Every structure is written in structure tokens, then in C-alpha cells.
Amino acid sequence: MAVIEGALVYSNLLALLSIGLTITYITTGVPNFAQGTMAVFGSYVSLTLWLLFGVHPYHTIPVSFILGGILGIAIYTVVLRPMIQKEAMIVILMIATLAVDLILLGALGAYSETLGVISGKGTRKFIFTPMDFKILGADAILVISSLAILMLLFTLFLLLYKTKFGIALRASMENPALAEIMGVNVEYTRIFSWFLSGSLAAVAGTLLPFRQEIVPATGAIIIVSIFAASIVGGLSSIYGALAGGYIIGMSESMVTFYLSKVIGPYILVYSKVISLIVLIIALIVAPSGIAGLEIWRKRVWRKSSSS
């Protein structure tokens, strides 16, 4: 795959992930460190359907979407919501998501062993690249990941600006206490945001093996880039997260590629360092991220936020 194409695919997927992370951060105030492993969950959903039923991974996207969404809701309602209701501090919530990440990682590890036994194939590492094909001369993954982003943006736009539920969602993001006063059941909007975040992560996970090899621990590595992208985006707007995804995705891929030419291929191992350097530079230039360039203030949760 050509370098630019690869970088674009990676950025598309990163944008899906950072948009999901940002949405749940805005609505529930949780910095979700399990987002990367939630993506790998999607990779395994697709792998399973491929190995056991011969379904091409691209056709598994809807299943991945739904199961990922259910996983998102489960993580929120079972683990995080009870803590939030007891007004847990953000550090506690963060550590809770790390715990969720470890549990998921363990579960995926055990599952991949079992799947290997059932299917009689090695599943500890896998890649879908050999199954990819060409659409109009381009790798299908480039077309499909770009379409995924475009469809997401289009649907989100329609949802957020043209439907009543979407307006309620934006209202709850800005001022949950006031939304509640207006008769919006804010809890629904929170559950919805975790569904969406989980399903976007799983879809990204279905597509990721077309670009790189997956192991259960892949999530723990890409989470660095997801956070970098979300923070560069300002953690407060969907468009910020989108831009952050491309800034981090492109620079991580391109810079490592050129460095590997100049210095040697061993530099590839350190590609996440590039994300972090870009993150630091971006924060020096725009301290509250891209979205911070616009005025934005809001506080999550506190019911009594209004005087």
C-alpha cells in the first residue's frame, strides 16, 4: 500500500475512534482508556465471522457496529454509571476504564485461544490485508474507511441538527442540568453516546486489520494515538476530534516513514512518540486544542451547577 494511502486509512480510523472518545467524554466526563481495546473487540467480531462462517470482513461491519454499541452501553451502565452517581472523581473513572481495558484484554486473549482451537487456525495474530481488493484502482480499505467517515459525518449532521433527539443531545452536552429542566431525559442521551462510541470503535476495529496486524494488546498501543487525536481536537467538539484524527494520523504515519528512510527502520517502533510530540506542539500553539479556539465552557454532571 502506498504511504499516503496507508496514512489516510489510518487517519480515517483514528478519526472514528477519537470522535467516539470525545462524545462520551463530553456527555459523561469519562476519559475512556478502553477505547482502543473496544476497537480490537470489533476486530475479533469480524475475525470470528470470517473464520467460522466465511463472511468477508467488510460484510461484518453491521454486526460489529451493533455488538460494539452493546459493549459500550454495558461498560457505561455496569461499571461507570454507578461510580458517576456516587460522584467519583475523574481520576477514579479513568482508572476504572483502565480496569475495564485489562478485563477486556484478558477476555479477548482467552477468546482468541478458544477461537483458535475451534477454527483450527492461528488467531493470536491476524491481518485481513490478503482479503482486500481494488475499487477503481484503489485499495478497497481506503474507499471503505473514507466512506465510513463521510457517512458518519453526514448521519451525525442530520441527527444533531435536524432531529429533536439530536437537538436534545447537543443541549445535554452543553448544559445537562438545564436539559433536564426542559424535560429531556438526559440519561438516554448518555446511554446513546456510549452506544455510538462503542459502535464506532468496533467498526474501526473491523477495518484496522486491513492495515496492520492485530493482537489482543493492539488496543493498548493505539489508545496513545486516540488520546493524542482527541486532546489535539480539544476533547469538546466532534469536529475538533475529526481534525485531531487527521493531524495525528497523518503526522504519525508520514513522519515515521521519512524518519525510517533517513535513520533506519528501527524507528518504526517509536511511531507513538511522534503522536506525543505533535500533541505537545499542538498544545503549545493552541492550549485548549482545536475546539478551544472557539469559546466553549460547560461542566459535566453537577446537577446543581446553576446557581
Partner 1 sequence: MLRAEKLSAGYKELHILFEINANVERKKITTVVGPNGSGKSTFLKSIFGLTTIHSGRVIYNDKDVTLTPPHERTKMGIAYLPQVDNVFTNLTVEENLKIAGYTLDNGEYKDRKDLALDVFPELEYRMNQKAGTLSGGERQFLAIATALIRRAELLMLDEPTAMLSPKFANTIFDKILELKDRLGLTILLVEQNVKKALEISDNAYLLISGRVAFEGKAEELLDHEKFEQLCIGI
Ligand X SMILES: Nc1ncnc2c1ncn2[C@@H]1O[C@H](COP(=O)(O)OP(=O)(O)OP(=O)(O)O)[C@@H](O)[C@H]1O
Position 258: which residue type?
Y
**Interaction of residue 307 with ligand X, rule CB under 6 A:** yes
**Interaction of residue 81 with partner 1, rule CB under 8 A:** no
Task: Pick the piece of the chain touching partner 1 (CB under 8 A) from 144-152, 242-250, 278-286, 299-307.
Answer: 299-307
Residues 55 and 45: their CA atoms lie apart, in Å, by 11
Neighbours of 303 (CB within 10 A): 9
Residues 16 and 193: their CA atoms lie apart, in Å, by 13
Residue 218 Cβ, how far from ligand X at the closest point, in Å?
44
Per-residue contact flags (x/-) with ligand X for residues 265 to 304, judged by CB under 6 A = ---------------------------------------x
**Interaction of residue 306 with ligand X, rule CB under 6 A:** no
**Interaction of residue 185 with partner 1, rule CB under 8 A:** yes
**Interaction partner, residue 276 (ligand X, partner 1, none; CB < 5-8 Å by kind):** none
In 3D space, the residue among 179, 200, 166, 44 whose CA is nearest the CA of residue 112 turns out to be 44
How many residues lie near ligand X (CB under 6 A)?
2
Residue 88 Cβ, how far from ligand X at the closest point, in Å?
18
**Interaction partner, residue 171 (ligand X, partner 1, none; CB < 5-8 Å by kind):** partner 1
> Do 28 and 194 contact (CB within 8 A), yes or no?
yes
Residue 186 Cβ, how far from ligand X at the closest point, in Å?
18
Residue 62 Cβ, how far from ligand X at the closest point, in Å?
45
In 3D space, the residue among 245, 234, 237, 253 whose CA is nearest the CA of residue 201 turns out to be 245
The residue from 54, 137, 183, 264 that contacts partner 1 (CB under 8 A) is 183
Neighbours of 166 (CB within 10 A): 16
Residues 252 and 272: their CA atoms lie apart, in Å, by 7
**Interaction partner, residue 85 (ligand X, partner 1, none; CB < 5-8 Å by kind):** none
Residues 213 and 127: their CA atoms lie apart, in Å, by 5
Termini Cα distance of the chain: 57
Region 121-180 residues binding partner 1, contact defined as CB under 8 A: 164, 167-168, 170-171, 174-175, 177-180
**Interaction of residue 238 with partner 1, rule CB under 8 A:** no
Crossing angle of helices 3-28 and 140-162, rounded to 10°: 30
Neighbours of 62 (CB within 10 A): 11
Q: Given the rule CB under 6 A, which residues bind ligand X?
A: 304, 307
Q: Given the rule CB under 8 A, which residues bind partner 1?
A: 164, 167-168, 170-171, 174-175, 177-186, 303-307
